[in-house]
Amino acid sequence: MTARTDTQSAGWREWLTTDTPQSRAQARLGRAWAGWTAFRRNRLAVAGLLIVLALVVVAALAPVLAPHHPYAQDLNNRLMPPSAVHWLGTDAFGRDILSRLIHGARLTLMIVTLVAATAPLAGLVIGTVAGYFGGWVDTVLMRITDIALAFPKLILALAFVAALGPGIENAVIAIAITSWPPYARIARAETLTVRRADFISAARLQGASSLRIILGHIMPLCVASLIVRTTLDMAGVILTAAGLGFLGLGAQPPLPEWGAMIASGRQYVLEQWWVAAMPGLAIFIVSLGFNLLGDGLRDVLDPKGD
């Protein structure tokens, strides 16, 4: 039985690594297998992937994993140090910090997902349109991009949140609005390298419209670079969201957002250090995970980096 399993595994591996794929699906699966093989050689990248997957699992199973209700107050046990009952201690209202961190993972994942689904897409559209058409279209779109890049991201996000009003939804909108310019510049650079390529000229001669060329030929070539940049930027997104929450412009109490938790514990940082240190540690670990994952994806998806 073991020999048969080994034979089947070797057959699949040979099918995936062949130099002469018999179908488009086989070629795509072969590239995916080669990428995964290269990715798993990087132990730090695998560690980053595990951290991100742990964030997803914790967010999905928060009601099951949390030992206490995140909003349950117990003033008789306020500011208690880590113990067998409260593994990470309690805050100024006697709420279990571990339970609030677990439920706060949902907010963090929601912010990351919404920003990753909006900002790169907007940057991709703007960058490819500017790079493909050139001329005054490129000039106008890139000058707008340069103006947006001239402002520090957190300061610009503060301005948008101040105009829109505090809240987790407005914080996500503000972060997404301030995050698209780098993606636009990357997409434009990729477009400039391929817009005069032979296959683009061939598609144009066959009667393909500009929209079809951009959507079907240019945008797919930009995706790999944008995926890497998106993963690396997620740490910055988390820090920006935490900064807005710390300043009271992001998630509002009693939501267990990690930045707001740090803000509520800053007055106890010298004596009851765990109140602010635990959410800060969570931000550090998750940000590190995204950075490590992004470095690994860059090594796999960016052949120019070799």
**Within a domain: residue 9?**
no
Q: Note the pLDDT of residue 302.
A: 66
The answer to whether residue 276 scores a pLDDT higher than 80 is yes
CB 270 within 8 A of CB 208: no
Q: What is the mean pLDDT of the chain?
A: 89
**Within a domain: residue 41?**
no
Q: What is the mean pLDDT of residues 173-199?
A: 92
Residues near 101 by Cβ (< 8 Å), separated by ≥ 6?
A: 88, 256, 258, 261, 278, 279, 282
Q: What is the mean pLDDT of residues 14-19?
A: 71
What total of structural domains would you count in the chain?
Answer: 1
Q: What is the mean pLDDT of residues 168-175?
A: 91
Q: What is the mean pLDDT of residues 91-103?
A: 94
* Whole-Å CA distances, 108 to 245, 276, 279, 286: 11, 17, 12, 9
**Within a domain: residue 138?**
yes
The answer to whether residue 31 scores a pLDDT higher than 70 is yes
Q: What is the CATH number of the domain that holds 138?
A: 1.10.3720.10
**Within a domain: residue 45?**
no
The answer to whether residue 156 scores a pLDDT higher than 90 is no
**Within a domain: residue 15?**
no
CB 70 within 8 A of CB 76: no
**Within a domain: residue 143?**
yes
Query: Furthest-apart CA pair in the chain: how many Å?
Result: 77
Q: Cα(212)–Cα(252) distance, rounded to whole angstroms? A: 44
Q: Note the pLDDT of residue 9.
A: 62
β-pair partners for 96: 90
Q: What is the mean pLDDT of residues 163-167?
A: 88
Residue 213 belongs to domain spanning: 55-305
Q: Note the pLDDT of residue 29.
A: 78
**Within a domain: residue 236?**
yes
Q: Note the pLDDT of residue 110.
A: 94
Residues near 231 by Cβ (< 8 Å), separated by ≥ 6?
A: 290, 293, 294, 297
Q: Cα(175)–Cα(42) distance, rounded to whole angstroms? A: 31
**Within a domain: residue 29?**
no
Residues near 54 by Cβ (< 8 Å), separated by ≥ 6?
A: 289
CB 280 within 8 A of CB 97: no
The answer to whether residue 306 scores a pLDDT higher than 50 is no
Q: Cα(155)–Cα(234) distance, rounded to whole angstroms? A: 18
Q: Note the pLDDT of residue 155.
A: 87
Report for 41-50, 147-156, 192-201: range of highest mean pLDDT: 41-50
Q: Cα(18)–Cα(38) distance, rounded to whole angstroms? A: 16
